[in-house]
Amino acid sequence: MSTSAFRLFLLLAALCPLGVPVSAAEGEAEAVKPEAEAGLPVVELDQEKQKLVGLEIIKVQPAAYQPEFAAYGKAINVQALVTIRSQYRVALSEQQSANARLTQSGQSIRRTEDLYRHGVAAKRIVQEQQSLWQTDKAQLEARRAQSDAVLEEARVAWGSELAGWAFASDKDRLGDFVSGKETLLLVTLPAGKELPAAEAAVFIDPEGNRSQAEKAVYISPAPQIDQTVQGASYFFRTGGKRIRPGMTVSVWLPEGRTRETGVAIPGSALIWSLDQAFVYVKTAEDVFSRRLLADYAPMAGGYFVRDALKPGDEVVTVGGQMLLSEEFRAQIPDEDD
């Protein structure tokens, strides 16, 4: 090597002590983004293009999540219970009439016996009144047995709570079901599952969409179980406008009492690629990183994310699919390359 070449080599080594190209040392090459170094897919989109495509971004907030398990339910037509109530009212009315006749017969017997003691009435008339009283007494017992049978039928089929609602005299507890303001639900749990506390929040949806599920309120245990599932059944009520008698509904119930912490994202933030769920997070002014959601769960209004995001992360809620398309387009080599 000549002396001039050796001096040039020393100069280059001084300018690039760590093996970085001279052009990079001079700032001509663009710095590598931290997301790219971590292996996370990124997309660059300047402010003008973000406005043009209508990109919307929110800062995610902390959220608590109650783990759930799924069950199924059916919206019940209360017509059968209303019919039983009508039968009971008829039986009760007949019982009251029989009781009135028995009371009248008793009064007649006392008057006739008094007349007999004073020698005014014949003994035969007293015996006829006693026979009539015995007949009225038997009819009252028959009517009482009939009304009791209707009560027992209601309790066996609907449970004591709903039977009490049907036969309450001070208030029409079934009125909201009859008018359609509320719907009665029969919820069956999977075998081996237990109902959490009665005040626990239970959610239902006819289309199996947890994010649109509406709350249902516990009423009482159902007296019979579903033979197919072999799980316990319970009655609930709901004011959901999309639930109609005869519908099958999906049900979500709390699993245990421990609540998890994470963040909540709206449903529109979720995008799919190769059967995996992602979101885009704004990591710089014009840079968006695609994050894999490996552990998330549906919740009211969107999704609960446990680990992939943290409070304060800026998540794209509108335009994520466009960013995904832009990311894939950028990966296609130009024909001139």
Query: Rounded distance, CA 25 to CA 62, Å?
Result: 43
At residue 9 the predicted structure's pLDDT band, cuts being 50, 70 and 90, is very low
Q: What are the residue ranges spanned by the domains of the chain?
A: 33-65+260-330, 68-76+181-254, 79-175
pLDDT, averaged across the chain? 82
Locate 255 and state its tokens: 């699993």
The pLDDT of residue 284 is above 80: yes
H runs (alpha helix) in the chain:
3-15, 22-25, 34-37, 47-52, 79-117, 123-167, 175-179, 320-330
**Predicted local confidence at residue 116, as pLDDT:** 74
Query: Rounded distance, CA 63 to CA 313, Å?
Result: 13
Q: 237, 184 in Cβ contact below 8 A?
A: yes
Global pTM reads 0.63
The pLDDT of residue 24 is above 80: no
Which comes out higher in pLDDT, residue 18 or 254? 254
Highest averaged pLDDT of the listed ranges 105-114, 134-143, 155-164: 155-164
Does domain 68-76+181-254 fall under CATH 2.40.30.170? My reply is yes
**Predicted local confidence at residue 39, as pLDDT:** 57
Q: 283, 42 in Cβ contact below 8 A?
A: yes
Going by C-beta distance under 8 Å and a sequence separation of 6 or more, which residues neighbour residue 25? 15, 16
At residue 255 the predicted structure's pLDDT band, cuts being 50, 70 and 90, is confident
Second CATH level (architecture) for the domain 33-65+260-330 = Beta Barrel (2.40)
Residues forming beta bridges with residue 74, ordered by sequence position: 186, 248
pLDDT, mean of residues 154-168: 90
Locate 199 and state its tokens: 């005040």
How far is residue 97 from each of residues 163, 221, 320, measured CA to CA in Å?
24, 35, 74
The three-state secondary structure class of 95 is helix
pLDDT, mean of residues 276-301: 90
Q: In this predicted model, what pLDDT tens digit does every residue of 223-247 receive, in sequence order?
A: 987 767 778 899 999 998 889 999 9
The pLDDT of residue 181 is above 80: yes
The pLDDT of residue 21 is above 60: no
**Predicted local confidence at residue 126, as pLDDT:** 75
Q: In this predicted model, what pLDDT tens digit does every residue of 34-80 receive, in sequence order?
A: 555 455 778 998 889 999 889 999 999 999 888 888 999 999 999 99
Helices (H) and strands (E) in the chain, counts: 8, 16
The pLDDT of residue 143 is above 50: yes
**Predicted local confidence at residue 23, as pLDDT:** 36
Number of other residues whose CB lies within 10 A of the CB of residue 28: 9
Query: Rounded distance, CA 57 to CA 315, Å?
Result: 5
Q: 85, 284 in Cβ contact below 8 A?
A: no
For residue 282, the Cα-to-chain-centroid distance in whole angstroms is: 32
Does domain 79-175 fall under CATH 1.20.930? My reply is no
**Predicted local confidence at residue 67, as pLDDT:** 84
